[in-house]
Amino acid sequence: METMVTKKRTMGQAKKLKDTIFVYCLIALPLIEFFTIYVYVNIDSFFLAFQRGGKFAGLENFKMLWDEIRADNSTILVAIKNTFIYFGADLILFVWSIFLSYFFYKKILGYKFFRFVLYIPAIISPVVFVVLFKNLTSVNGAIALIIKNFNPDFRMPNLLARSETATWTMVVYVLWMGWTKNMLYLGGSLARIPLEVLESARLDGVGPWVELTKILVPLLLPTLSTLLLLDVVGILSSSGPILLFTKGDYNTTTISYWMFTLVYNTGDDQYVKASAAGVCLTLIMFPVVYTMRWLIGKIDSIEY
């Protein structure tokens, strides 16, 4: 009897060992990827910010970055301004997605058609829509032809080739293509809300506006706060399809695209500048993100 128990225990231990080896093999690849692509790259970038030509350079790279910020027509200041413009567009889409989700949630007439149309940009390559948008807004595009029908003397400017209009034209594109932003998250959260809550409100004579603002939005606060936090975390990566539209010309660059061009244009001066900029941006965003996280933590979670 004792031999049988010992044998079963040994078999159990062997099975547990095999399961453990299997689990570790399963997570080995993502762990290796995390440490090589994220941890190693960030640590190496931090030390690179204090080097030049493979030697320790102190704060020279940061001084070089500061001089570029103070220069006339600074590209970095233009990039910062454009980044916050795109972040403002993200906030507009954030609010708009709440109303759009409510429209689909209430299954108003035609919601299936609009849902299909609005999800098309998510399944078709952005290159196709960029080409379409360029043709629409070109000098002889569809918009120019429509306006000329009412005003024959009208001359359409090249909106994407002028510093005054290029960024705002791309912002319009971002707003046009970003209608479905956060739709899946909000749609799933709305589907979890008990129907009894809305039926009770309907019996009390509550209208659509009050239902959305006073009932649904408070119930969605955990989801909305998480999505808002993700938007704040991604401030520095707020950008339009600049590479497809203007490649940063006509004062259209953003912080993320400016960093991309530094790394893409290989060279010691470019790499160290990008690393120094990354350290500075991390120091700026760290308190902002954690303050936002602390404020969101003050919101009472609602269980339903």
pLDDT tens per residue, range 60-71? 888 888 888 888
Q: Which residue has the tokens 């940061």?
A: 62
Task: Compute the mean pLDDT over every residue in the chain, rounded to the nearest whole number.
Answer: 83
pTM of the model: 0.83
pLDDT, tens digit, for every residue of 161-194? 888 899 999 999 998 888 777 777 888 888 888 8
Alpha-carbon gap, residue 119 to 116, rounded angstroms: 5
The whole-number pLDDT of residue 84 equals: 92
Instruction: Tell me the one-letter amino acid at 229.
Output: L
Alpha-carbon gap, residue 261 to 248, rounded angstroms: 9
Alpha-carbon gap, residue 221 to 202, rounded angstroms: 21
Backbone angles phi, psi at 220, to 5 degrees: -90, 0
DSSP codes joined into one string, 133-186: HHHHHSTTSHHHHHHHHH-TT-----GGGSTTTHHHHHHHHHHHHTTTTTHHHH
The whole-number pLDDT of residue 254 equals: 92
Alpha-carbon gap, residue 44 to 109, rounded angstroms: 56
pLDDT, tens digit, for every residue of 35-90? 888 888 888 888 888 888 778 888 888 888 888 888 888 888 999 999 999 999 99
Whether 163 contacts 73, CB under 8 Å? no
- Strands (E) across the chain are located at 51-52, 55-56
pLDDT, tens digit, for every residue of 230-242? 888 888 888 888 9
pLDDT, tens digit, for every residue of 212-236? 888 888 888 888 888 888 888 888 8
